[in-house]
Structure 1
């Protein structure tokens, strides 16, 4: 049995045909060099993956260190690892397979070498040192040809710690998702790492974290909170683990095969006609700023967070429009009803970069994140309105959006067919498809039948 070390240390043909490799379904990944971001105190190595014959999936193989880490400068270390990488790629192209006996291939390569009298380049003479790497994976095999010290150190270096792996994923995710989502992901990973340290202290690296451990953690979340929250944790973790799988940090995503639980979605309860009229009348004197904030939700059908995002420059009084960052679009434009324009103060002399709503006035600086802003108005609404009228806990600021969409839908139905009413409503609410609008209307119970007493 011959090791990959013996192949690489006498392989001299450094040219390789990548075009040929990419033209077929590869059984291996292109070898890469890990440089620890230039940190010479950490071990550098060459790594690659090979298709496991049992699972038919690419599986990360043992790292190749050789004697690269004996060098104390980046240039020499990288030069040797580059040599290892080129030799390894050539061997893989010639048919090397870590899951089989490669003796025949070794003899063929040795014969080729002996028949070619070509002086060894200086860099190869200097760097040609043994590399501990098995030619066939076999639990019963002792791998006598491997260097014992490297075999003992390999489990410690083979994988990142949980925190390092999650930080790697978060760093790649930060430019793909919103700041709020990134905060959610960070909170999820912090909770997981803390739980693992307490309940599974033997798990130190990301490759030790499997489906069984993931299921235990999600069960812990379920026992403390709700199915909905547990599903959110599952979704966040699956997204981060998928980044690790795609970048070959782990061989598979352990969250993928864990099913989501059925949960009853939270419902923001609509207000009755009497309730919302009482609230509006009460706020006229009690808190006019909060009333205008609610009217932007009610008459423009905005979400509370979308109202908090509005700046002075987003309001165009002349065209009677506003633009904002929506949930499903980077930028969206809507008509401003005259009922709101009439209540707005003169905005022309205000700084365009001021936020429209602040805790103390219309138009001003408010340097905090969106979550804090929406939470502020929610707490203010609870203190001023909910506690005063003893409202249901599910009657929130968001409920005004549901309430006024229902009012508008029933008003449109008076003079048109259901389809025409929904078509007009789509233009106002901003739903992109009829099916999405119909699902929303069913969800808030806006679609109620006519009185059917005569049929009973």
Structure 2
């Protein structure tokens, strides 16, 4: 069988060798095959026509298959199969399948292309006399038309008064090299998609995104290999390493970014399908800052009035306008319209949201007339001053300032942070609304204030922070 495979590969190469693919040789091959096919000495065919097994699916229906069906087919061995008549029983017997290098190819197109030539090469050898039940002279079977074509007998030309015509000069056709399709490397594909993502993501989000994708790229053994060489196992091993070194939540964050990245690879036809979608998401317990009690919140406000009024105003924007800390960091002087009492909030990956500035906060905001409208409102150097810093660094500055100034003073643990003020005041507002309104009306009014996009999102948020508690139910237990 090894000699057969070797010979098939020689015939395979011959098919693509343009030196022999001229009209004269093609006519000769067709003549030989036609003569062998019409051999009347064989009452029964000695072999079946070789066919290709394509993983149990019909190759003409490939585009109709699901991604899972395609993957299952490619995970099976593809091969050429045929039967040959046994000299002992006189019956056609299935021979060993011929795989060659077919299953080293990772996509349908390359496997079909390879196996089609192997099938045709095998059929040619069978018609030229190959017999798996006997010893075969592979050299004679492989003989090319150039070698096997019989020499024509020399005929002595008769003398004639007619002048001998001059032979026309043969025109040599230049050999044209077959273009080889260049495969895109892992590095090239990653660079292309990262550039695409850079143009559709905001600067802060892209920074963390690129860091995770680059870390995965560095975990691969060789970035010069074709992009199709990356497997699901490579991604799983990488995510397992992240899980071991950090947490399940961080591992899920990496998986989310990889899923987004590989979807873009698929959209740009670098890979046939995104296998990250089939990697499971681990169950995690979300971390959420706790709500302050009324007494602790009031004590913190009184303490900061003397210790750090700027940090206190930062917290009041969170408390009274129900902003997230990062949204307060994004506020520029021009986003605060005192005259119209409007606040223009730049949310992540969303259009600018407009919120009203409540009276309780208007009186706390200093005069903005002399400030540069393009500067950030909150800076370490005073309101509206020049501050060149990344968004993450601006947010971290105020988180560290709160930890340093407030947490130590009030002996607060890791369960409390700047987010705690948002939870505290949403809880206060909801409970106040519920004193005079039904739950549905209270939630509807609250949704306009907090900026939640759906009622479902607001209800989940209220459940998470325990905003609504039941009345005393002791009488029900008596």
Shift of 1:298: 0.5
Q: Corresponding residue for 1:171?
A: 195
Residues 1:358 and 1:52: Cα distance change in structure 2 (over 3 Å): closer
- Give the one of 138, 158, 167 matched to 2:183: 158
- Aligned length, in residue pairs: 344
Shift of 1:289: 0.1
Shift of 1:174: 1.2
Note if contact 1:279-1:385 (Cα within 8 Å) is conserved in structure 2.
yes
Please give the per-residue CA displacement for 1:394-452, whole angstroms capped at 9, x wherever unaligned: 21101111110000000111111111111110110011221111011011111211121
Note if contact 1:268-1:395 (Cα within 8 Å) is conserved in structure 2.
yes
* Greater Rg by CA: 2
Report the 3-state secondary structure (helix = DSSP H, G, I; strand = E; otherwise coil) of the residue aligned with 1:440: helix
Q: Corresponding residue for 2:396?
A: 375
Shift of 1:54: 3.5
Residues 1:174 and 1:132: Cα distance change in structure 2 (over 3 Å): closer
Map 1:265-280; keep pairs closer than 5 Å: 265-280=286-301
1:100 aligns with 2:147: no
Distance across 1 between alignment mates of 2:340 and 2:384 = 20
- TM normalised by structure 1 equals 0.68
Please give the per-residue CA displacement for 1:131-155, whole angstroms capped at 9, x wherever unaligned: 277xxxxxxxxxxxxxxxxxxxx8x
Q: Give me the CA root mean square deviation.
A: 3.4
Residues 1:5 and 1:53: Cα distance change in structure 2 (over 3 Å): farther
Q: Corresponding residue for 1:59?
A: 107
- Give the one of 428, 440, 445 matched to 2:461: 440
1:185 aligns with 2:209: yes
Distance across 2 between alignment mates of 1:273 and 1:177 = 40
Distance across 1 between alignment mates of 2:396 and 2:265 = 34
Shift of 1:203: 8.7
Note if contact 2:217-2:223 (Cα within 8 Å) is conserved in structure 1.
no
Distance across 1 between alignment mates of 2:453 and 2:206 = 26
Q: Corresponding residue for 2:411?
A: 390
Q: Corresponding residue for 1:298?
A: 319
Residues 1:351 and 1:98: Cα distance change in structure 2 (over 3 Å): same
Q: Corresponding residue for 2:439?
A: 418
Map 1:72-151; keep pairs closer than 5 Å: 100=116, 129-131=176-178
Report the 3-state secondary structure (helix = DSSP H, G, I; strand = E; otherwise coil) of the residue aligned with 1:239: helix
Note if contact 1:165-1:244 (Cα within 8 Å) is conserved in structure 2.
yes
Distance across 1 between alignment mates of 2:349 and 2:452 = 10
Q: Which runs of 5+ in 2 are unaligned?
A: 1-11, 24-59, 64-69, 76-105, 122-172
1:194 aligns with 2:215: no
Residues 1:446 and 1:60: Cα distance change in structure 2 (over 3 Å): same
Residues 1:259 and 1:423: Cα distance change in structure 2 (over 3 Å): same
Residues 1:436 and 1:5: Cα distance change in structure 2 (over 3 Å): farther
